[in-house]
Each structure stands twice: as structure tokens, then as C-alpha cells.
Chains A and B, each alone.
Chain A
Amino acid sequence: MTSSWQLNCPIQIPAETDCVTLAHGEGGRLSRKLIQERIISVLKNESLETAGDAARLPRVEGPLALTTDSFVVSPLFFPGGDIGSLAIYGTVNDLAVSGARPLWLTLSLIIEEGFPLLILDRVLQSLAEAALSTAVKIVAGDTKVVPRGTVDGLFINTAGVGELTEPVPPGPACLREGDELVVSGPIGQHGIAVLAAREQLQFDPLPHSDCGSLLKAVALLRGALGDRICCLRDATRGGVAAVLQEWAESSGLTLSIDERCVPVSSGVKGMSELLGLDPLHIANEGTMLIAVRQGAGPAAVSVLQTLSKTAEARVIGSVKARGVAAVTVKRTLGPEQPLHDPLGSPLPRIC
């Protein structure tokens, strides 16, 4: 036997690559390497490091809230955010507006074969920073790699658990005539920013997404208004119009807003005019609607205006007895019109 003997293995061991391969998702050495070196090292916490089949969580005193959301935004990076921070803020905000203090998140990544590892690193870094800033722990996760062409780059799912804190907002079914509607900031920023980035529309300045955490604003608001808050909701897909429709359906009342009171940035206003879109139908990612008891609207606005992110909060309308339409909007010259649910995604017009 000489020292020159070599094992000639017929199975090719994949070399290091600069992109995600199917082998990264097959549970072997490359999978472990991806998870340990690229995911856990960035997200860093003891629950993830134990790498069990399920996260073991400490006892919680109060009742829990549980939510899940999937993020499939294109492009993955847009002015004001990216899919990583969005996946954290989206779920954290869902818990916050439900009256819960976010505690733990799970994270599932579905990655397209060929996805650049450097881009994955950037997304994970952003995700980790968003988790840190909102003090939530990612305690369990999953990674799948699927063949090229079956997903658009990267999809993320996060699920979140939070502890409900008193007084829990009772929800839209409790709305009654005279209650007031407040929006926390300018609307339509996220949808327009993503549309401009996706279609490479050359607007100057480029619109920025409002992607961000609502935790602080919700905490301040709940501290100041307590049980005068009826319901809160982050106005994501379908925008303000979709939230109002849902609330009107739950309450059986008419929700009426005045378009002139709704804050809209000049960039969003201009692009919406140009493309024939209604900002009330456009998605937000860090802007919420709040319904408060009669007379509490100005107090809610004052509290929100102490934070820079919600400095443009406004009372935009009120709750009325059910009329002909479930949701109405007063336009420029004052007529009240029905405000319908958006129909699918907004399509830009010809001219």
C-alpha cells in the first residue's frame, strides 16, 4: 500500500458557489453550512442555536396572539425597505395592532435555485436588524430551495406569537355611531415605492416606502387612550379602503371619510394622478388606521404627532348609521361618494 492511494468517489461533492443550489436545501452538509454560517450567525440567539425540531418557549402569564404572513414582494429591495425588514415589521405590526406585545417569530425561507448568496446575506442582515429594533426573537425556522423558475428569487414567511396586554382593543364589531377614524401618517407610500422600483419609473425624488415598526406608536396610543381605542389595523394590501370595508362589514355601520383630511405626500399624489390610481387603494407597510370613541380623535392625533414617523397623523372621518354605501368618501367639492374595495391590483391607465 502506498501513500499515493486515493478514494475515487463517483459522487461529486459540490464546490463552494456564490449562489444557492438545490443541494443547499437537501439537508446535508451544505444545508447545515448555509443555516449555521449564514442564518443563525446573523440572527444569533440561544433558541436557534439549540437547533431542535421545535422551539421551547418560557411560560407566559396572559393570553397569546398568533399571526402569520408571507412576503413575496418584487423587487426584493426598494426605496425605504426590503423583503427582510418587511417580513419582520409586517408580522410585528400585525401583533401590535391586535393588542399584543410581540415575543417570538418563526422564519421560513423559500429560495430559488441560483439565488445569489450575497443578496441572501443582505436580506438576512436587514431582517436581523429589524428583529433587534423590535425586540422580537426568531426562535425557529425552515429553509427550502426550489428549482429555478418555480419562485421569484426569494419568498419569506414569518409567524409571530405575542402576549395580549390589557385593555385589548375590542375590534370593529364594537364600533358605534360617532366614533372617529384616524390615520397615522401619509398613505400609499409603500405601494407606490414598490411600483416605481419594479417598473423602473424615473421619478425624482423616488418615493420611499413607509416600511417600519408601529410598536412605539401603538404603545403610546394605548397608554394614552386606553379603552377609548376601538380597533387598530395596519393598512397593507388594499390600502385604507380595504380596512374601512372590513370594519364596515364587521360593524354593520357606514364609515365615512373626507379625502381632503387624508395625508398624501406630493410624490404619491403626483404618481397616482399620472397612473390613474387612488391612494386610498394603495398598500402601506408602516401606516395604520385607528378607530376611537367619539371625541377621542384629536387626543389620538396629538399623541401620534409626538413621534416623527406618525407626525402627520390626522382625523379623517367618523362612523355613521348604515346608509346606502358601507364606506363613503367626500371628494374635492364635497359630494359624498361610495368607496369600493379595490378590484385586484391597481392597473395603470392608458392616458
Chain B
Amino acid sequence: MKYLDEYRDPAAAQVLLDEIRRVSTRCWTLMEVCGGQTHSLLRHGIAAELQGTVELIHGPGCPVCVTDQADIDFACQLAKRSDVMLTSFGDMLRVPGSQGSLLDARTRGGQVRIVYSPLDAVELARRQPEKQVVFFAVGFETTAPATALAVKQAAQYQLDNFSLIVSHVRVQPAMESLVESPDHRVQAFLAAGHVCTVMGYQSYDRFVARYQLPVIVTGFEPLDLLQGILAGIRQLEAGEAWLENCYSRAVQVAGNQSARDLVQEVYQVSDCRWRGFGLIASGGLSLREPWLRFDARARFAECGLPVILNSACRSFDVMTGQLKPPECPHFGKQCTPETPLGAPMVSSEGACAAYFRYAGV
């Protein structure tokens, strides 16, 4: 397939693998920030090929995994109401809250619909004025522009039966929180290409200057990842730390200006609870004043629930690169995709799901 097969060419990948082995004088530890990168590294066998040359550890970049359990419980609670139709992306439906997932809520009679775009949820609200349509808005800066557009469209149609559970998170504050920890092991970051497509990568300048760690903007195909890894190792071997874009076919320095404007208009940066991480300063987005009438938390304030946390899941250790999924005592035993203890085992970008699906035999 055009624009895809070219980046999966085994011969070209072999050249890059050889070059990475040639330039590495020791085993460096690189963190791929995005869960999509984790899946690709394992699916295409890159992590296994580079074992002993580069240690690849997983970052916090799966928006489904880090969505606060309280938000999932709130969504499940809303789904049980007869006047509510709860909508979200497919990924979110299997993630366990304290009392089950949205799929469980649907099995027990709740109205839960998968949508492919938040604009589909707006359309559902238009077509079914008797229902309160709630969109569970999850995702990094990549999906925030689309939900911002949905809010504006709902306002334009003067819909009073559409609202959002805003659970958007911001990736850079999580990276900062991670490297502030004294026992972190990261020597360089492969930054999430999709997020940079929207937000650009200027803001990493300050990050690199402050923490003296190389940041390489990296895509998701095997050759993208191998180029990113090679660039990171070259910097580390040279004792340098700078910001480098290895995904220039998709990422511009300033990102996508109209998408950024849209996010800026509808959302403001706010502190946010991340599952496993706790409160991260400036780690999320919330609706600005003119759009607050679309906030499902305000509209259904009476549906809040006390949070019952599941302490068995070690997802925080996995998402900070402290623990590889197979090292978790629950991996593949109590915790499988059919009986997940936490989100990383069921999310399509979850690190545990990646190991379960692709770990070598």
C-alpha cells in the first residue's frame, strides 16, 4: 500500500538495524512515549532484534490507559440512565472501571454506542432530541481538535442534549513528571509523532534544555522507528542532547495551526488526574467558560461516584518504564485481555496488550 509498504521494507530495515548495532558502544535506554509505537516495535520485531543493543521502555502515551478510573465510573453511571446515550471510541469500551466497563454497562441495559468521530455523536444528538447524548472525550492533543469542533458544532445547532466528559490529557507534562522522578531510567525520548503533527515540537526545546535528554520526534512504521532510534543513539554516543525531527513527512515545527487554534478556543490547560500517576500539573484540558454548558460533569453532577481503586494493577510501573509487562506477576495469569486488571491489557495502545499479542515465541 502506498505510503505504508515503503516504510515496512525489510531490506531497508535491515540496513538501519545494522547501523544501530554499529554505532552503539553500549546498551542505551530509550523510551517510546506513545503506545502506538510500543505496538509497532513489538509487532514488527524491532524490540527483539535490538535486544542487548538498545533497551526500549514504554512511556505514558496511551490515552485510554491513563484515563482516570473516576471518569470511567462516571461514564458507566451515566450509561445506566434511561435518558442518556453514552458514546465513545471503541477503545474505551473494554477498559475496566471499579464496577465494570462500558461494555458491561451496555450488557446490563445501558445505551452505549461506538462512534468513529465526535461529530457522529453530535449528529446522534440532533437526530434524537429526546436523548441526552454524552461523548466520552478521551485522547491526547491528537483527538482534542475533533472534540473541540464537535462542541462548536453543537453550539451552532443550539443543542441542549449534547455534552462531553472531557478526559483529554497532555503528553509533555507527563514526560516532565516522569523525569522529575529520581529513579527514572530514560536516556532519550522517542516523542509521539501524532501529537506533534497537531502541536508541533517547538515546546520540546525548553524540555531538552532543562533535562538534557535527547528528544526525537518519531513516527510509527518500522523505518520511522528505526530512524528515530538511530538518531537518538547517535546523539547519546556523541554526548549531545537536542531536539530532532525524524518524522518530517508528517510533522511541521509549528504543527497544525488551525487545529491548535481550535483547541485553544474551546479548551484551557488544567491540572488532571492520570490513572496510576495521580494529579499531574497542567496534565489535561478542560472546557473554557463559554463552552461550559457542554460539560457532562456539571449537567449530571448528581451522578458522581466514590472511586474504588483497584490496587492489584501495576500499570503505573509499566507506563513509567519501571516494569516490562511480562515482569508483572499478574501478566498472562490473573490479567489477560479477557480478564484485565487494568487498561494497558485491553487498550489497543496498551503496553501489556502489545506484549500479550506480539511477544515472540
Contacts and interface: CB of A to CB of B under 8 A. Distances in A.
Interface in A297-344: 323-325, 328, 331-338, 340, 343-344
Contacts of A332: 8, 10, 13, 43-45, 222
Contacts, number: 95
Given A331-B45, A333-B46, A351 B1 contact: no
B49 interface: yes
A350 B89 contact: yes
B358 A350 contact: no
A347 B94 contact: yes
B361 A351 contact: no
A350 B143 CA distance: 8
Interface residues on B, range: 35 or more
B357 A273 contact: no
B140 interface: yes
Given A266-B1, A336-B360, A199 B89 contact: no
Contacts of B46: 333
A335 B358 CA distance: 9
A170 interface: no
A201 to B, nearest CB: 7
A343 B337 contact: yes
Contacts of A38: none
A276 interface: yes
B10 A349 contact: no
A147 interface: no
Contacts of A295: none
A348 B92 CA distance: 10
B340 to A, nearest CB: 10
B305 to A, nearest CB: 24
A167 interface: no
Contact of A335 (B1, B48, B114, B337): B48
A328 B359 CA distance: 11
Interface string B1-29: 10010001010011000000000000000
B273 interface: no
Nearest to B194: A351
B357 A337 contact: yes
B114 A348 contact: yes
Nearest to B3: A270
B139 A201 contact: no
A338 B43 CA distance: 10
B116 A201 contact: yes
A239 B84 CA distance: 34
Given A333-B44, A333-B46, A334-B45, A349 B361 contact: no
Contact of B143 (A323, A335, A343, A351): A351
A144 interface: no
B90 A349 contact: yes
Nearest to A338: B361
Nearest to A201: B116
B338 interface: yes
A89 B89 CA distance: 33
A237 interface: no
Given A328-B361, A332-B10, A276 B45 contact: no
Nearest to B93: A347
Interface string A54-79: 00000000000000000000000000
Contacts of B360: 335-337
A340 to B, nearest CB: 6
B265 interface: no
Given A266-B1, A333-B10, A333-B222, A348 B116 contact: yes
Contacts of A266: 1
A348 B90 contact: yes
A344 B339 CA distance: 13
Contacts of A331: 43-45, 358
Which of A331, A336, A337 has the largest count of B CB atoms less than 10 A from its CB?
Answer: A337
Contact of B359 (A323, A338, A343, A344): A338
A9 B194 CA distance: 72
B91 A347 contact: yes
Contacts of A348: 89-91, 114, 116
Contacts of A324: 361
A349 B43 contact: no
A328 B45 CA distance: 14
Nearest to B337: A343
A336 B361 contact: yes
A346 B91 CA distance: 10
Which of A323, A344, A349, A351 has the largest count of B CB atoms less than 10 A from its CB?
Answer: A351
B349 A335 contact: no
B356 interface: yes
Contact of A349 (B45, B49, B349): B349
Nearest to B63: A350
B188 interface: no
Contacts of A350: 63-64, 89, 91-92, 138-139, 143, 348-349
Given A324-B361, A328-B361, A351-B143, A333 B49 contact: yes
Given A276-B348, A331-B43, 12 more contacts: A270-B1, A276-B91, A332-B8, A332-B44, A332-B45, A335-B360, A348-B89, A348-B90, A349-B90, A349-B91, A350-B143, A350-B349
Interface of B: 1, 4, 8, 10, 13-14, 36, 43-46, 48-49, 63-64, 89-94, 103, 114, 116, 138-140, 142-143, 194, 222, 337-338, 348-349, 356-361
Question: Which 8 pairs of residues, A with B, have the shortest CB-CB distance?
Answer: A347-B90, A335-B45, A349-B348, A333-B45, A348-B90, A350-B89, A351-B142, A324-B361
20 contacts: A269-B1, A270-B1, A273-B1, A333-B13, A333-B14, A334-B45, A335-B45, A337-B45, A337-B360, A338-B359, A344-B94, A344-B103, A346-B90, A347-B94, A348-B91, A348-B114, A349-B348, A350-B63, A350-B64, A350-B143
